[in-house]
Homo-oligomer: A and B are copies of this chain.
Amino acid sequence: MKIGFIGTGVMGAAMARNLMRAGHTLAVYNRTKSKALPLVEEGAELCETVAACAAGRDMVITIVGMPADVEQVYFAPDGILENADRGTLLVDMTTTEPSLSVRIHAAAVSRGLRAIDAPVSGGDVGAREGTLSIMAGGDEEDFEAAQPVLACMGSLVVYEGPAGSGQHTKMANQIAIAGAVAGVGEALSYARRMGLDLERTIQTLSAGAARSFQLESNGAKMVSGDMAPGFFIKHFVKDMGIAEREASDAGLSLEVLAQVLEMYRSLEARGLGELGTQAICKYYE
């Protein structure tokens, strides 16, 4: 399949590479061109503009930074919607506002294009190994058309419902993580203050109702003091901010999410946004 791929950061480059390995023909665009060059050496076509990357493709995949970047690459005059060929399937894999995904879908349909939202979880390791979880929203037949391509990048590819449902599922994922990682941070801060053996504490807690991925993965990092990012605080703050606004727009007040977001924002304000989410333990020091 001829695929235009826009956004070749850490995640995007690894995902694009898996598509090329599976035999797809890639054209790539990145705002900072240097980050796209390794893929060009591996056989991708380099595009100088979004428009060039969008035109003449069967599918256009985007994974860029913030909702404003998504807005720009889709809706600008030289963007995807104005330049993709009729019938092209647009796949936004950025974690972004569900309402933006709905707007992209509507704009695509009105132009004879097709669009799904398909944010991912699983981090850079999942992107490299092709084991991402991919949460997709849109028209079901468009999902089915995209599914074989998505399966090159993820080991779990789920159709969640109409446009925006992939984003909403990703938001639910981040909301659950917010509570879990904060609970682990507080539990281990308490255990440290009370003089417990922290490795033993994790071992004991992992055997019962407190068991979680966050305890096993981020908890162990809190204990060893490894603050390297598996998932950046700055990205988590972005995601939680979107989730809080969406919930609030729907009349839903999520108080634990709001509390955890405030804690991470204060860490970001202390200059710790480039650390991993396990650095929530620093909030209690």
Contact = CB atoms under 8 A, between A and B. Distances in A.
Interface stretch (A2-10, A19-27, A198-206): A198-206
A121 interface: yes
Interface string A182-209: 1111111111011111001101110111
Nearest to A171: B190
Q: Sort chain A's interface into a size bin.
A: 35 or more
Contacts of A173: 187, 204-205, 208-210
A177 B180 CA distance: 8
Interface stretch (A58-66, A78-86, A160-168): A160-168
A172 B160 contact: no
Interface in A217-248: 217, 231, 243, 246-247
A183 B176 contact: yes
A40 to B, nearest CB: 31
Interface in A129-157: 133, 135, 156
Contacts of A250: 193-194
Contacts of A205: 169, 172-173, 176
A260 B257 CA distance: 11
Contact of A179 (B133, B180, B213): B180
Residue among A160, A172, A193, A231 having the largest count of chain B Cβ atoms under 10 Å:
A172
A169 B196 contact: yes
A193 B252 contact: yes
A98 B247 contact: no
Residue among A179, A203, A256 having the largest count of chain B Cβ atoms under 10 Å:
A179
Number of copies: 2
Nearest to A122: B208
Given A183-B178, A208-B122, A247 B169 contact: no
A184 to B, nearest CB: 6
Contact of A190 (B158, B213, B254): B254
Contacts of A284: 252, 254
B210 A177 contact: yes
A182 B200 CA distance: 25
Contact of A176 (B133, B215, B252): B215
Given A173-B205, A205-B173, A207-B156, A184 B195 contact: no
Contact of A184 (B179, B194, B208, B231): B179
Contacts of A55: none
Given A172-B194, A175-B187, 10 more contacts: A123-B209, A158-B204, A169-B201, A176-B186, A179-B183, A179-B185, A180-B180, A190-B254, A209-B231, A211-B213
9 contacts: A133-B208, A160-B200, A173-B209, A175-B186, A177-B183, A178-B186, A179-B187, A183-B183, A183-B257
